[in-house]
């Protein structure tokens, strides 16, 4: 049996383990949260290096991506360097492939017509594949990178502007401790309504769930949420706040949609190639074989008008 472990800076309350068979291979897939403790994450990776088949790096991205430019995050580099034998991935390979395919699938199947839909992508540099796919689908996209990542209430209205902002700020932001950019540990359970108006202005809310959750208002009536890494408690919360549809870009495993880092680690194991040699085409080929499709949940409307 292959063993895949996601080591996350997120809360240990979200830890989970499942066993499943994918393309004839049995997997044990685990998620270990470190409650925001970077040193603990590094130590876990060191202790399991060479003993598991692949690592996912959760709660943090290795890169900020904008167009052809990539800026490596210092804290993420430290975690990645702790794995000297076992391959480690952060999910960016699937964000660039699976998440593009998910948006295209939803449009082609008539599940969501993105054309002219006001859409908030909470962080575009975290999900540049989804960002490009949303613009190509005709959505009116607001990128919340400055709002949610840096607490600067300035919406970005185009990919071109986002790429320009990333080129200016990327070299500086990539050196900051990650805890200043993203909710980790217990902060993932704190919700503030500071940026409610950006939810109110948009029909679709997309991107990283912890950004979505941290700033979501009480009233999410008729909103469509496109994300992943949700647990049962998150689904109930979205339903109670009136969200209409929840779509996760990663499939369900025993009631749980893992993050892209976890699923990418599984696919890397199946591809059996050094991570640096895996191409975008490799990911598309293996995705065709495994047949991952978005998980679509029509949430009960419990809020009254």
Q: pLDDT tens, 227-258?
A: 988 888 899 999 999 999 999 999 888 777 88
Residues found in the chain: 305
* Chain centre to alpha carbon of residue 165: 21
- C-alpha 93/C-alpha 72 separation (Å) is 15
- Tell me the fold of 95-251: Rossmann fold (3.40.50)
Encoded tokens for 95: 């964000």
Q: What pLDDT score does 254 carry?
A: 79
Q: In the prediction, which pLDDT does 300 show? A: 75
- Position 109 scores a pLDDT of 96
The percentage of residues in the chain with a pLDDT greater than 90, rounded to a whole number, is 71
**Taking the CB of residue 43, how many other CB atoms lie within 10 A of it?**
14
Give the residue, 305 or 120, on which the prediction is more confident.
120
Query: Are the C-beta atoms of residues 177 and 198 closer than 8 Å to each other?
Result: no
Note the pLDDT tens digit of each residue in 19-44: 999 999 999 999 999 998 999 999 99
pLDDT confidence of residue 63: 84
Spatial separation of the C-alpha atoms in residues 54 and 219, rounded to whole Å: 40
Domain layout of the chain by residue ranges: 2-91+253-290, 95-251
Global pTM reads 0.90
Q: What is the DSSP string of the chain?
A: -EEEEEEESS-GGG-EEEEEEETTEEEEEEEEE-TT-HHHHHHHHHHHTTTSSEEEEESS-SEEEETTEEEE-HHHHHHHHT-SSS-EE-SHHHHTTHHHHHHHHHHHTTS---TT-EEEES-TTT-HHHHHHHHHTT-EEEE-IIIIIH-----B--HHHHHHHHHHHHHHHTTS-GGGTS--GGGGG----TTHHHHHT-SEEES-HHHHHHH--S--TT-EEEE----HHHHHHHHHTT--EEEESSPEETTEE--HHHHHHHHHHHHTS-GGG--HHHHHHHHHHHT---EEEE----S--
Closest CA to 202 of 179, 181, 183, 225: 225
Residues in a beta bridge with 69: 66
Q: Is the pLDDT of residue 305 over 80?
A: no
Spatial distance between the Cα atoms of 108 and 229, rounded to a whole number of angstroms: 24
* Greater pLDDT, 16 or 187: 16
């Amino acid at each position: 049996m292959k063993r895949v472990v996601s080591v996350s800076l997120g809360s240990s309350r979200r830890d989970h383990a499942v066993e499943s068979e994918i393309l004839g291979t049995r997997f044990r897939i685990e998620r270990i949260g470190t409650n925001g403790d970077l040193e603990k994450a590094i130590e876990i990776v060191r202790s399991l290096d060479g003993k598991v088949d692949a690592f996912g790096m959760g709660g943090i991205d290795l890169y900020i991506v904008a167009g052809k430019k990539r800026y490596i995050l210092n804290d993420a580099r430290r975690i990645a360097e702790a794995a000297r034998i076992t391959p480690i991935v952060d999910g960016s390979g699937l964000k660039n492939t699976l998440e593009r395919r998910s948006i295209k699938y939803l449009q082609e199947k008539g599940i969501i017509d993105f054309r002219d839909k006001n859409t908030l992508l909470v962080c575009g540099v975290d999900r540049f594949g989804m960002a490009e796919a949303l613009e190509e689908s005709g959505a009116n996209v607001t990128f919340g990178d400055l709002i949610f990542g840096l607490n600067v209430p300035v919406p970005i209205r185009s990919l071109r502007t986002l790429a320009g902002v990333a080129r200016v700020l990327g070299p500086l932001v990539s050196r900051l401790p990650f805890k200043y950019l993203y909710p980790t540990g217990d902060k993932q359970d704190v919700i503030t309504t500071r940026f409610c108006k950006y939810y109110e202005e948009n029909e679709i809310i997309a991107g990283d769930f912890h950004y979505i959750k941290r700033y979501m208002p009480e009233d999410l009536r008729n909103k469509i949420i496109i994300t992943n890494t949700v647990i049962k408690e998150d689904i109930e919360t979205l339903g109670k706040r009136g969200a209409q549809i929840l779509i996760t870009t990663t499939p369900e495993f025993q009631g749980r949609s893992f993050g892209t880092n976890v699923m990418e680690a599984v696919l890397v194991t199946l591809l059996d190639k050094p991570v640096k040699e895996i191409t975008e085409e490799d990911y598309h080929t293996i995705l065709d074989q495994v047949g991952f499709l978005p998980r679509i949940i029509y949430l009960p409307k419990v809020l009254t008008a």
